Structure 1
Amino acid sequence: MKKFATVVALVFLLPLLTACPKQQTRDELRIYNWSDYMPEEVIQDFEKRENAKIVLDTYDDPEAMVSKLQAGGDSEYDVVILSDYLVGQLAQRGTILELDKSKIPNFKNLDPSFADPAYDPGSKHSVVYQWGTTGLAYREDLVKGPVDSWAVLFDPAKSVGSFLLLTEMREQVGAALRYLGASVNSTDPATLERAKRLLIDAKRRSQGFAGGTDAVQQVLSGNVAVAVAYSGDAFRAMEENPKVKYVIPREGGTIWSDVLTILSKSKNSELAYKFINYLLEPEVAAKVSNGIGYGTPVPAALPMIEARDNPIIYPSAEVRKKLEFLGDLGPAADLYNKIWAEVRAQ
């Protein structure tokens, strides 16, 4: 009797069940980003707001990232966060879209100095996400002397301990160029040959290469005394262990911005535009900078940023005079690639 009653109940319930609307499928946004470079809270808030699902892949080597896009990966993602100097290259190849600013109303929130960058005039193909510097992270209890110059990598007589080099070609070649007193964007073959020799010698004495996040973790754990590092990674490590320090060498270095781009083969460009616009809201921009320790390009976010007075994140005007943005190398990119291949092969 009980079994029969269950069957009858199911017969009457079946039309009601089939009449219920299906659960709405969530939009999917596929993002390719540097490792540990977006707070989970920011991702989750956007998912709730847009009833969307974010699928996140990460990388540590921008050259490998570009190679993946060229090999067909450009159809796998909607948004890619990449180094500023790559914008011109990818725009010329048609890999990234020319942005429709009418779909990014919060673009007006950008600091004017970031709204019209030299690498992408008028922000035609990109929008600044975060900015920072590249210098040296070190454990003050492990080094055997002062850390204030790129010489700790390139002059054996001034070595202060074990060290790691950075996997990013432009940054690491740029460090050698600054040590030589040249621009990080030098295309002079003789100067680049000297930089190559410095890098080959440094590699042989080093503990190898590492991505930015891993390099700082190796310093934090005490596996190496010094590493080429990004400011935000070093800042977070210093919060964990005050023996970790960060310095921009006296010869100078790079100041950079990482940018948001939409791939031309994006399957959900409308959601990609919403995501970029969302990141430019002051409250969201503040959450990003508080979460990952880099500089915000949104001035209205600054009052909500805990580290707004920290010179590691926001260096003084005097320090910034010694910093350069990495530029698009044009045809000279082939020479850099050749040099880097020789360095990595040694």
Structure 2
Amino acid sequence: MPELGFSRRTALRGLGATGLLAALTGCGVPAAYVAEDQRSAADRSARDKSVSFSNWPLYIDVDEEDETRRPTLESFSRSTGISVRYTEEINDNDEFFGKVSPALMNRQQTGHDLVVVSDWMAARFVRLGWAQKMDRAAQPNVARHLDPQLRSPAFDEGRAHTVPWQSGITGIAYNRRALGRELKSVSDLWHPDLAGKVTLFSGLDESFALLMQGDGVDTARWTTGDFHRACDQVERMVRKGHIRRFTGNDYTSDLSKGDVLACQAYSGDAIQLQADNPDIEFVVPEEGAELWSESLIVPNLAPHKANAESLVDHYYRPEVAAELAAYVNYVCPVPAAQAVLADSDDAETAALAEDPLIFPDREMRKRLTVARDIAPDERPELARRWNSIVGL
């Protein structure tokens, strides 16, 4: 299991690439958009059996005895003869966008065949025409096993250009023993007994959906008015000193040390926190929670597209998806992997099949929503409002 302390959902810092996106899409540079028929390069996959795959740190299984080995990648290479150059170079969505955007904007190769970014960033790539459509005929496992709840986000209808790598839930984590009561809803965060003991995520994209759900908003169809009402609530709590601070993934340390009693949290982190402290609980609020993904995309002009598509399909084999899920402990986008884990001879591994934070049950799924992402023309206004509250 990976060490706690690094989040795959890195907080948005200021306008950053948001400003760049606005410049590309709304300030006189329409040529940044690449039409679908101009995104591919001559594919070298057949004669060059390799693929370049970039991911976040600590986001893949490793061998317990040799941490330089990654069993699921090795099984892919053995079965296909395709070697994988795997790099853990993605530490921040905006930073990565800034790194590759000059090449993509100028119709040049990025050096990447396959990358993993958060879906709100994947939405930028799709809208700019910087992600290639995948050949689903070459991906039978994706077609068969992709979680139906993740099949068609608003930014990529039918998942034509993206495929979830792992998913997760943004909910609430709290210390049940220290608080002395149950916490069931987002509104419970504002109870007087939590004054000064609550943290929220500082990132706009990480925070907004759960806060609006606490207001009863259908986050698949939210409006800017819904957003500003949620901000009004947060602003009031900041003025009262109710919110201790806004965090990145350092919320895990605050909760573990007892500096806070309740916080916005990610389901994958919660599983690891509970392993060290069984008093910590993760809640999918009664009003609902956000189901999000971090997704695989094939950037424009990738020279090994077919090999990349083959690697994506490899991770949608239930036995491979199960091996990955057992290591990273995020929501598995392959429901069929649950039965594989349940059949494990190892009791600890088999128990993961019953964990609703890895395989959400039917009741939990009723409260999970894939939120509509922030559109480019909305982002400057919303980022200014949110960042003024957070202090970015």
TM value normalised by structure 2: 0.70
Contact 1:302 1:308 in 2 (8 A): yes
Query: Mean alpha-carbon deviation: is it higher for 265-274 or for 324-333?
Result: 265-274
User: What are the Cα deviations for residues 294-329 of structure 1, in whole angstroms up to 9, with x where unaligned?
Assistant: 232324322222322223333333332232211134
113-122 or 283-292, larger mean C-alpha shift = 113-122
Deviation at 1:135, TM superposition (A): 0.7
Contact 1:152 1:158 in 2 (8 A): no
1:113 aligns with 2:113: no
1:216–1:116 CA distance, 2 compared to 1 (3 A): same
Contact (CA 8 Å) 1:231, 1:246: kept in 2 or not? yes
Output the CA distance in 2 between the equivalents of 1:280 and 1:209: 36
State the AA in 2 paired with 1:242.
P
Map 1:1-346 → 2, pairs under 5 A: 27=50, 29-33=52-56, 35-41=57-63, 43-47=70-74, 49=78, 50-59=82-91, 62=93, 65-70=96-101, 75=110, 77-111=112-146, 113=148, 116-119=151-154, 120-143=156-179, 145-153=181-189, 155=190, 157-159=192-194, 162-185=197-220, 187-203=222-238, 205-212=242-249, 214-266=250-302, 268-305=304-341, 306=350, 307-330=352-375, 331-345=377-391
Per the alignment, do residues 149 and 115 of structure 1 end up closer, same or farther by CA in structure 2, a change over 3 Å counting?
Answer: closer
Give the corresponding residue for 2:11: none
For residues 111-134 of structure 1, give each alpha carbon's deviation from its aligned partner in whole angstroms, at most 9, with x where no partner exists.
461574143223210112223322
CA RMSD of aligned residues (A): 3.2
Bigger fraction of residues in helix: 1
* Percent identity for Structure 1 against Structure 2: 23
Deviation per residue, 1:253-290 (Å, 9 max, x gap): 21223321112154543442232122112221001111
Amino acid at match of 1:309: E
Whole-Å separation in 2 of the counterparts to 1:239 and 1:112: 27
Kindly state the Cα deviation for residue 238 of structure 1 after the two structures are TM-superposed.
Answer: 1.2
Taking the aligned partners of 1:105 and 1:285, their CA distance within structure 2 comes to 14
Contact 2:52 2:111 in 1 (8 A): no
Partners of 1:101 and 1:278 in 2: CA distance? 13
- Between 48-57 and 226-235, the greater mean CA deviation after superposition: 48-57
CA contact (8 A) 1:177 1:186 kept: no
Give, in whole Å, the separation in 2 of the partners of 1:58 and 1:224: 29
Q: What SS class does the counterpart of residue 294 from structure 2 fall into?
A: strand
Would the alpha carbon gap of residues 303 and 320 (structure 1) be closer, same or farther in structure 2, given more than 3 Å must change? closer
Whole-Å Cα distance in 1 between the matches of residues 298 and 202 of structure 2? 25
SS at match of 1:255: strand
Listed as ranges, the gaps of 5+ residues in structure 1 are: 1-24
Q: CA deviation at 1:206?
A: 3.2
| Cα displacement (A) at 1:246 | 0.7
Amino acid at match of 1:57: E
Rate the CA distance shift 1:52–1:310 in 2: closer, same or farther, 3 A.
closer
Deviation at 1:31, TM superposition (A): 0.8
Larger-Rg structure? 1
SS in 2 for 1:224: coil
The DSSP-based 3-state class of the residue aligned with 1:208 is strand
Of 270-279 and 244-253, more deviation after overlay is shown by: 270-279
